[in-house]
Amino acid sequence: KNEVEQSPQNLTAQEGEFITINCSYSVGISALHWLQQHPGGGIVSLFMLSSGKKKHGRLIATINIQEKHSSLHITASHPRDSAVYICAVRPPSGAGSYQLTFGKGTKLSVIP
């Protein structure tokens, strides 16, 4: 079973700062997801990555398959970015490849 580790567990930033959240995993995967859980509890999918880099607005996600590592970057952070960011990985193609293994999340607080 894949072990998914996120760092840091908690992160406090000043508005406008550049933020990086890291995710590492122990076993090869077919894809990695970044999710955002807002304070009310609902979850939104941000990205799915199998290689390289994706960008959406101020969010950038990168993955290095060889190093088993992904990063989520937030540029020009804003208080509305305050949330828990969750990394999840999907095993290689085949039976059970839809089953995600989730990290414990990184709680981000952005202070005005």
Positions touching other proteins (CB under 8 A) are: 4, 30-31, 33, 35, 40-45, 47-48, 86, 88, 90, 93, 97-105
Q: What is the DSSP letter of 41?
A: S
CA distance 64 to 67: 5
Phi-psi region of 9 (alpha: psi -120 to 50; beta: other; left: phi over 0): alpha
Rank residues 18 and 109 by Cβ distance to other proteins and give the closer one. 109
Instruction: State in angstroms the smallest separation of the CB of 79 from other proteins.
Output: 21
Rank residues 61 and 74 by Cβ distance to other proteins and give the closer one. 61
Instruction: State in angstroms the smallest separation of the CB of 5 from other proteins.
Output: 10
Rank residues 83 and 88 by Cβ distance to other proteins and give the closer one. 88
Instruction: State in angstroms the smallest separation of the CB of 55 from other proteins.
Output: 15
Strand partners, 20: 73
Residue 45: CB atoms within 10 Å: 11
Residue 19: CB atoms within 10 Å: 19
